[in-house]
Structure 1
Amino acid sequence: MSFKYIFILIIISFIISVVYLFGYRKNVKLMKEIAQALEKSLKPKDQLYTYLGGVLGFSADYKVEGFKKITANLRLIPRQSALYLPFMFLTSGKDSLQILFWLNKPAKEEFHIIKKSPLNLHKPKIFNRDKLKKETIKFNNNEFEILYENEPYNKKLMKFIESIDLEYFNHLAITTENNIVYVNLISYGFDNKKLEKLVTTFKELSLKLFT
């Protein structure tokens, strides 16, 4: 093997190592900060974390007053993988934080509000979509799809959505099957203070609607 090819292999190996090191540290930092933001906003009596694939995120269970429980699922893009980076830019890959507020009282109707994205890359799967009424609205330079049964929550929830920072917002749902308020937030990296404020607001909304 010529020196030229050996040199190329050394450069490639160096790039992969550097990407792994920086990506690994970035994901570890994000996981710690997001866990701290969730605990500050939810104020749990107890919590349990299960880490996924080293630095790819975690699942968490929180015991919080006013709820049966609250669960969170964090999925981070594999920043430590140099091979993934080109696909991340092509597919608009983002970190995802799902929070489920398990309610003490039954939800009356199903409701979804989904922030539309270019090419619908982050459009959630809703299995009974065809059975729900549908509206599309625009405000603050964003377009939203609303799915509902009989409009019990529409006005309250729309006022709420209009009042929050929409930078991370992707999907809010109320489901009757398990009586859950579901929130999906996406970003290339969450700001700790913004996330803490947003999660606190969703927690207060869930308590206000169902207590």
Structure 2
Amino acid sequence: MEITSGFILAIMVLAAVSSIQFFKGRKLNLQIMQHYLRSIEDVVKPEDKEYVWLGGYIGFRAYYRVNRDNVKKFEYTLTLLPRQSLLYFPIALLTSRHDKLYIVVKPQSQIKREAHLIQKGYYRIKPRIENEEFLKRETVVIGNREYEALYEKRRDVELLKYLVESLSKPGNIKHVSLTPSTNVFYVLMKPEPDTIEDDVRKILSFANKKLKTGPFSS
């Protein structure tokens, strides 16, 4: 195959643009990580903390020991779109779709019953839910989104719905659950830099008030 000067020029331009995108995207992802780290830590105010870098500019995991009010531990994983990659970024928009924040709260109180709200159509591969076959099911509408509710008692879903509706953009909440076997309160969401502090504050408030004194706790 004959390699023309035009082909070589196109490769050189692509390489130059990819290099510029790498440095710009890397800087942006680092700024996003720093923003979320500072914002969440300022709200949670942990007594001890540990961060684990996920490699490259993908994101990080944070482990906070809180031991305050009804929150024993607050852990989260932030994964970001590969803004530094000119070629992979469009693919990631189709597969990952957005930045993700996975929050795991371990309360002091004991969660008694299983409950889930899962945004319909979000998961391509449905997550494994323990004892799913024994849970009741129904569709719950929050804003303009439909959620699949799985639960033992209907009032538990109402409280999870109350939480989702109280957050800045309910449609950003993809999965929220309470699992008694691991005693975990879990939230998967699309984070927003401008509202992350308020959302985390409300998630903590839910754990401190509803999980401590509501029907979830013993």
TM-score calculated relative to the size of structure 2: 0.86
- Corresponding position of 1:105: 109
Aligned pair 1:153/2:156, yes or no? Answer: yes
Aligned pair 1:173/2:177, yes or no? Answer: yes
Structure 1 SS opposite 2:9: helix
- Corresponding position of 2:29: 27
CA distance in 2, matches of 1:169, 1:60: 20
- Structure 2 matches for 1:28-67, cutoff 5 A? 28-64=30-66, 65-66=68-69, 67=71
Query: What is the letter of the counterpart of residue 157 of structure 1?
Result: L
Shift of 1:32: 0.3
Q: Give the total of aligned pairs.
A: 206
Contact 2:72 2:107 in 1 (8 A): yes
- Corresponding position of 2:200: 199
Structure 2 SS opposite 1:210: helix
Shift of 1:152: 4.6
Query: What is the letter of the counterpart of residue 151 of structure 2?
Result: Y
Label 1:2 to 1:180 Cα distance change in 2 as closer, same or farther (>3 A): same
Shift of 1:122: 6.2
Contact 1:48 1:62 in 2 (8 A): yes
Aligned pair 1:143/2:146, yes or no? Answer: yes
Q: Which moved more, 1:23-32 or 1:42-51?
A: 42-51
Query: What is the letter of the counterpart of residue 176 of structure 2?
Result: L
CA distance in 2, matches of 1:107, 1:186: 25
**Share of identical aligned residues, percent?**
30
Label 1:132 to 1:199 Cα distance change in 2 as closer, same or farther (>3 A): same
Query: What is the letter of the counterpart of residue 170 of structure 1?
Result: K
Shift of 1:86: 2.5
CA distance in 1, matches of 2:104, 2:201: 13
Structure 2 SS opposite 1:161: helix
- Corresponding position of 1:83: 87
- Corresponding position of 1:185: 189
The CA deviation string for residues 6-58 of structure 1, in whole angstroms up to 9 with x for no partner, is: 21121010121122111111110110001011112212122111111131100
Label 1:54 to 1:113 Cα distance change in 2 as closer, same or farther (>3 A): same
Q: Which moved more, 1:163-172 or 1:195-204?
A: 163-172
Shift of 1:163: 2.7
Label 1:35 to 1:123 Cα distance change in 2 as closer, same or farther (>3 A): farther
Structure 2 SS opposite 1:153: helix
Label 1:16 to 1:207 Cα distance change in 2 as closer, same or farther (>3 A): same
Structure 2 residues without counterparts, runs of 5 or longer: 213-218
Shift of 1:90: 3.1
Query: What is the letter of the counterpart of residue 97 of structure 2?
Result: G
Structure 2 SS opposite 1:36: helix
CA distance in 2, matches of 1:26, 1:36: 15
Label 1:89 to 1:77 Cα distance change in 2 as closer, same or farther (>3 A): closer
Structure 1 residues without counterparts, runs of 5 or longer: none
Structure 1 SS opposite 2:195: helix
CA distance in 2, matches of 1:124, 1:25: 34
Contact 2:117 2:157 in 1 (8 A): no
The Cα RMSD (Å) is: 1.9
